[in-house]
């Protein structure tokens, strides 16, 4: 047998290495395997899995939904015991279940359903039966600052200020109403806001590890109206979480500025107005709020109902006595809220009736009056809504720190703080 020379052996090893995809250094390290014969790796392709989504229908149980998807072997009692506070009978209709099924298998092997914004229920099948677990979905919170100039309405200003990609239409509407609620005791958005006024608001933007985006609470806001800077800062004072102005006074007052959430001023307060039905001039001792028929009417303050019934031209009328001097009237109602009767106590913001056109009214609206010592006054000019409670002295330092942080988010380019007027 002819022996190969040293150079020939080197060439042969190199060729073998190139042929089998092993580098020269790897060929030299082949001795590490001790001469054992090694089989090439076997790659086992996992069976393809398909996902099918199905919705829990009205008046349908989860077991019925599973049966529709061919799953009939779930012990729901045992499954419920495995997850704290899990009751399959309480899952609401409209939930979307995702069934995962391997190719070649007759029934799904796993099911997932989103039960809340931060959790989903996972159900899996094994040889011993079905089991369930809850997966928590983490969310991170980012600040979102929106600012704009009001030309017509706050809605239009919000639409013009934010692109749909940044803040969807539904989220913009929620932000507008959230802003209106923050200033409910301080600003009448049907009167106090004028063209050219500005707003700035900081809200929570939440992003999940799945890439989902949702919007949370407002944490700070500023409205520039009538040459005033109206600030609002969210703060937990130890007893409750609410909004405070720059001086640390609660935004909540003794009286709301308006008795309707959805508001559009019709006729204003006047000592002499031409009545559209009676066709002559007579005093109009209140404010008319145009609104949709059936819109809820709320009491502007705490008090006791002194009138609840049909009262002449007022139609269906509710009168609330708030203290020793102040009372309010709500007229032309279509109907009264449940529990409204003379002597009943009502809370600020509680629904007492619904907009209508009873009595001397040409269209659905709310006629609203405020009276001091029995005399009607203009609620826009001659009535103080009161002043808010201050942050407790023990939490004042903490409030100032939180305010400074929120103000930096609200006005990142402002070097020196200034006092609201």
Strand order in the sheet with 96-102: 49-55, 96-102, 110-116, 119-126, 129-136
Whether the pLDDT of residue 417 is over 80: the answer is no
Tell me the helices (H) and strands (E) count for the chain, helix number first: 7, 21
> Which pLDDT tens digit goes with each residue over 40-90?
554 545 568 899 999 999 999 999 999 999 999 999 888 888 888 788 888
Return the sign of the alpha-carbon dihedral for residues 308, 311, 317, 321: negative
The segment with the largest mean pLDDT, out of 23-27, 268-272, 411-415, is 411-415
Task: Report pLDDT for 236.
Answer: 92
DSSP assignment, residue 2? Answer: P
> Which pLDDT tens digit goes with each residue over 353-370?
999 999 988 889 999 999
Mean pLDDT of the chain: 81
Same fold? 49-136, 270-377: no
The CATH number of 49-136 is 3.10.450.350
Q: Does domain 139-244 have CATH number 3.10.450.350?
A: yes
Q: Is there a contact between 93 and 129 (Cβ–Cβ < 8 Å)? A: no
Determine the Cα angle at 88 with ends 84 and 91, to 5°.
105
Task: Report pLDDT for 83.
Answer: 85
Where does the pLDDT of residue 138 fall: very low under 50, low under 70, confident under 90, or very high at 90 and above? very high
Report the alpha-carbon distance of residue 146 to residue 20 in Å, rounded: 62
Whether the pLDDT of residue 146 is over 70: the answer is yes
> Which pLDDT tens digit goes with each residue over 148-198?
999 888 888 899 998 888 888 888 888 988 998 899 888 877 667 888 999
Nearest CA among 200, 166, 235 for reference residue 389: 235
Report the alpha-carbon distance of residue 24 to residue 29 in Å, rounded: 9
Task: Report pLDDT for 136.
Answer: 93
- 317 membership: H or E segment, kind and range: strand 316-321
Q: Quick one: average pLDDT of 226-245?
A: 91
Q: Quick one: average pLDDT of 225-242?
A: 90
Where does the pLDDT of residue 421 fall: very low under 50, low under 70, confident under 90, or very high at 90 and above? very low
Task: Report pLDDT for 61.
Answer: 93
Q: Quick one: average pLDDT of 92-96?
A: 93
Task: Report pLDDT for 156.
Answer: 87
Residue scoring higher pLDDT (202 or 185): 202
- For the residues of 176-245, what is the DSSP string, one character each? HHHHHHHTTTT--TTTT--TT-EEEEEEEEEEETTS-EEEEEEEEEEEEETTEEEEEEEEE-SS-EEEE-
End-to-end Cα spacing for the chain: 108
Report the alpha-carbon distance of residue 412 to residue 42 in Å, rounded: 60
Q: Quick one: average pLDDT of 277-301?
A: 71
Q: Where are the domains of the chain?
A: 49-136, 139-244, 270-377
The CATH number of 270-377 is 2.70.70.10
């Amino acid at each position: 047998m002819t022996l190969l020379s040293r150079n020939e052996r080197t060439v042969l090893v190199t060729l073998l290495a190139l042929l089998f995809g092993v580098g020269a250094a790897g060929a030299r390290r082949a001795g590490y395997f001790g001469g054992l014969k090694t089989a090439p790796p076997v790659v086992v392709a996992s069976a393809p899995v398909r996902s099918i989504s199905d919705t829990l229908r009205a008046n349908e149980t989860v077991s019925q939904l599973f049966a529709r998807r061919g799953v009939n072997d779930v012990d729901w009692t045992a499954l419920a015991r495995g997850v704290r506070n899990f009751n399959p009978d309480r899952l609401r209709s409209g939930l979307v279940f995702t069934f995962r099924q391997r190719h070649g298998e007759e029934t799904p092997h796993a099911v997932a359903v989103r039960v809340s914004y931060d959790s989903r229920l996972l159900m899996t099948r094994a040889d011993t039966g079905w089991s369930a677990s809850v997966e928590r979905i983490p969310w991170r919170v980012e600040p979102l600052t929106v600012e704009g100039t009001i030309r017509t309405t706050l809605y239009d200003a919000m639409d013009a200020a934010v692109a749909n990609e940044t803040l969807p239409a539904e989220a913009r509407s929620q932000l507008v109403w959230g802003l209106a609620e923050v200033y409910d005791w301080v600003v009448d958005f049907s009167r106090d806001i004028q063209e050219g006024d500005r707003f700035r608001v900081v809200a929570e933007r939440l992003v999940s590890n799945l890439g989902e985006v949702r919007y949370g609470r407002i944490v700070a806001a500023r409205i520039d109206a009538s040459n005033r800077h109206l600030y609002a800062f969210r703060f937990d004072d130890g007893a409750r979480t609410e909004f405070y102005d720059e001086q640390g006074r609660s935004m909540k007052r003794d009286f709301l500025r308006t008795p309707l959430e959805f508001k559009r001023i019709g006729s204003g307060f006047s000592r002499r107005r031409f009545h559209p039905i009676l066709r002559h001039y007579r005093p109009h001792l209140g404010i008319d709020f145009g609104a949709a028929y059936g819109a809820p009417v709320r009491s502007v303050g705490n008090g006791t109902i002194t009138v609840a019934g049909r009262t002449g031209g007022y139609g269906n009328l509710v009168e609330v006595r708030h203290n020793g001097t102040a009372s309010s009237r709500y007229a032309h109602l279509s109907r009264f809220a449940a529990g409204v009767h003379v002597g009943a106590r009502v809370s600020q913001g509680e629904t007492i009736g619904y907009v209508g056109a009873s009595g001397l009214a040409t269209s659905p609206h709310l006629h609203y009056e405020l009276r001091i010592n029995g005399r009607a006054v203009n609620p826009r000019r001659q009535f103080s809504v009161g002043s808010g409670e201050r942050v407790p002295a023990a939490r004042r330092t903490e409030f100032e720190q939180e305010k400074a942080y929120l103000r930096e988010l609200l006005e990142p380019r402002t070097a020196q703080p200034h006092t609201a007027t």
